[in-house]
Amino acid sequence: MSECFSLAFGIGTQNSAGDWLEVFYPQPLLNPESGLLKVVADQLGYAGGNQAIAVSAIQCETLGKAIESAGFAEVGALVTQLISSNKPLVATILATDEAPSSTPEAYLKLHLLSHRLVKPHGVVLAGIFPLLPNVAWTNHGAIDVNELPQRQLAARLKGETLNVHSIDKFPSMTEYVVPGGVRIADTARVRLGAYVGEGTTVMHEGFINFNAGTAGTSMVEGRISAGVFVGKGSDLGGGCSTMGTLSGGGNIVIAVGEGCLIGANAGIGIPLGDRCTVEAGLYITAGIKVALLDDADNLVEIVKARELANQTDLLFRRNSQTGAIECKTNKSAIQLNDMLHAHN
């Protein structure tokens, strides 16, 4: 077999109609070896393309032995373990990184992000929302929302309580993946598909959406919206926000560079370069007017904030007397002004 983008074996949940609600992949593989893929193809009749193949326990037993015999002991052992599951099993093969076409494919891509195998914007997620059913996430697992009343009644008749944690398309990341070296105070606030870098602390009010996250050591007490990636050493103060593409950022990919600080209750609608600071309570949107100041706090020019996108060493603040939004740079606003015109 030729090269393959990703391969994973999972345990999932289906509704009464046989539709997939979710899939758990304990060990997704990125760019698996061709020898492993050949064994899987031979055993499951895979002929190419992106597919989610339902697998029986008997098939798992045969497949696991064949994979181990081919020299892939760890993967073979995992597949063999799946035999004991009483839930539906699936082998998902992504020959290429294209828009997902099924729920198991969509869940595999979210797993790749949370397992830190790919970074935000490093995998195609176009069209993912229709493939993620709205699910009741409960102490009894994922339940189809339309089947929830009957399941609640059935639980009560047994003297049990069915606790519904959330109704959402995305589950909590930690129900599927717990990456090493992180602290997450409220796990419900980090969705599957988040990339949480080693050394990151997410406090109770922090939130990380799918296809977003942190590259490394960061303190997150604010919101990291979908598509936003935060560089190493950057901190997000309490209640602050980053504007995602879906929430009004348009085609601008919002990002935060390394060593930045977004103050409490502040926010950004432009990407920040390295070592930038946004004063507490100040929300910078792309079209807002910003006064560039020199080292002596003299006005150099008034520009729109989008012209400062991705620039380094900036301090954004609000003048307490006039209310004007100002920007200073360690290199002086004159030099920054030259860079702006050089990009035109």
Residues 261, 233: Cα–Cα separation, whole Å? 9
Between CA 103 and CA 109, with CA 104 as vertex, the angle to 5 degrees is 95
Residue 191 identity = R
**Could you write out the DSSP letters of every residue in 61-73?**
HHHHHHHHHTT-H
Check if the beta carbon of residue 185 is closer than 8 Å to that of residue 219: no
Residue 313 sits at φ, ψ, to 5 deg, of 55, 45
Interhelix angle 34-44/57-69, rounded to 10 degrees, is: 150
Q: How many angstroms separate the Cα of 57 from the Cα of each of 79, 87, 262? A: 10, 10, 51
Helix (H) or strand (E) segment spanning residue 300: strand 299-304
Spot the catalytic one: 33, 98, 147, 221: 221
Active-site residue flag, 221: yes
Q: Is 23 exposed, middle or buried (0-12, 13-18, 19+ CB in 10 A)?
A: buried
Residues 257, 194: Cα–Cα separation, whole Å? 18
Identify the CA nearest to 39 among candidates 84, 9, 81: 9
Check if the beta carbon of residue 125 is closer than 8 Å to that of residue 41: no
**Taking the chain, what is the end-to-end CA distance rounded to the nearest angstrom?**
48
Residue 263 sits at φ, ψ, to 5 deg, of -65, 170
Interhelix angle 73-81/57-69, rounded to 10 degrees, is: 170
| Active site residue ranges | 221
